[in-house]
A and B are shown apart, each in its own frame.
Chain A
Amino acid sequence: EAGVTQFPSHSVIEKGQTVTLRCDPISGHDNLYWYRRVMGKEIKFLLHFVKESKQDESGMPNNRFLAERTGGTYSTLKVQPAELEDSGVYFCASSHQRGGDEQFFGPGTRLTVL
């Protein structure tokens, strides 16, 4: 069984540009999560999808971030326009069910905004 994959693994962009991160969850997992780790600090929750619906986006930093999961399969996280403080590692995770079911994490996308 393939794990959670993320693309790209690294992205370096200039302030003001747009970047789109992609996450492919484990097949059959309805739940998809985005997290972010900034500058070696704690990993923070960004949002949670169940299939194509956003269940909780309380962790999204501001309206420069837009997450989508059309068709309930892969998800994208777009940052437009990117700012310096957006640099960090963006992790995606998926799980089959809620309620304590294990979340399987991808390797993360390291975003650097110059």
Chain B
Amino acid sequence: GEDVEQSLFLSVREGDSSVINCTYTDSSSTYLYWYKQEPGAGLQLLTYIFSNMDMKQDQRLTVLLNKKDKHLSLRIADTQTGDSAIYFCAENPNDYKLSFGAGTTVTVRA
């Protein structure tokens, strides 16, 4: 089975908040990441959180980490059409190998 799980699809209206959820399995991961992939482009590191933090905010992005439940979420405030993309949650069970989820396709509708 997958080590990192996330829902596959999310549809959100422009201007609303988006919340993408992820569960992971390896409690030894030092960092947890959110990557964004726009059509035709590579993976772009969107944000990350250190494992001893509960929350990280970066402009419209808020990352919440519940280490007890191994649950990570990404909230995008005031979602825009440019936020339409695939979002991947990832953990690093060792110091170089990333373990990704299957990706959540976010569609922003007008």
Residues of A near any B CB (own CB < 8 A): 3-4, 31, 33, 35, 37, 40-45, 48, 55-56, 59, 91, 93, 95, 98-100, 102-108
Complex contact A105–B95 (CB within 8 A): no
Chain B interface size, as a band, is: 20 to 34
Q: How would residues 69 to 90 of chain B score, 1 for a CB under 8 Å from any chain A CB and 0 otherwise? A: 0000000000000000000101
**A31 in contact with B96 (CB, 8 Å):** yes
Q: Is the CB of A48 within 8 A of B95?
A: no
Expressed in whole angstroms, the Cα–Cα distance for A104 and B90 within the complex equals 14
Question: Contact residues of B with A, CB < 8 Å?
Answer: 2, 4, 8, 30-31, 35, 40-45, 88, 90, 92, 95-103
A3 to B43, CA, bound (A): 12
Chain A residues near B43 (CB, 8 Å)? 43, 91, 93, 105
List residues of chain A with CB within 8 A of the CB of B44: 105
Query: A42 touches which one: B30, B31, B45, B100 (CB < 8 A)?
Result: B100
Complex contacts, B4 vs chain A, CB 8 Å: 42
Give 5 A-B pairs besides A45-B99, A56-B97 with Cβ atoms closer than 8 angstroms.
Answer: A4-B42, A42-B4, A56-B96, A59-B97, A100-B92
- With A41-B102, A42-B101, A100-B31: A33-B42 Cβ-Cβ less than 8 Å: no
Instruction: Tell me the bound Cα distance from A93 to B92 in angstroms.
Output: 15
| A45 and B101 contact, Cβ closer than 8 Å, known pairs A91-B43, A100-B30 | no
* Contact, CB under 8 Å: A42 / B96: no
| B96 contact from A33, A106, A108, Cβ within 8 A | A33
In Å, the complex CA distance between A55 and B97 comes to 11
Q: Complex Cα distance A48/B31, Å?
A: 19
Q: Which residue of A lies closest to B99 (CB)?
A: A45
Of the A-B pairs whose beta carbons lie under 8 Å apart in the complex, a sample of 19, sorted by A's number, is A3-B42, A31-B96, A40-B8, A41-B102, A42-B99, A42-B100, A43-B98, A43-B100, A44-B100, A45-B97, A48-B97, A91-B43, A98-B96, A99-B95, A99-B96, A103-B45, A103-B98, A105-B42, A108-B42
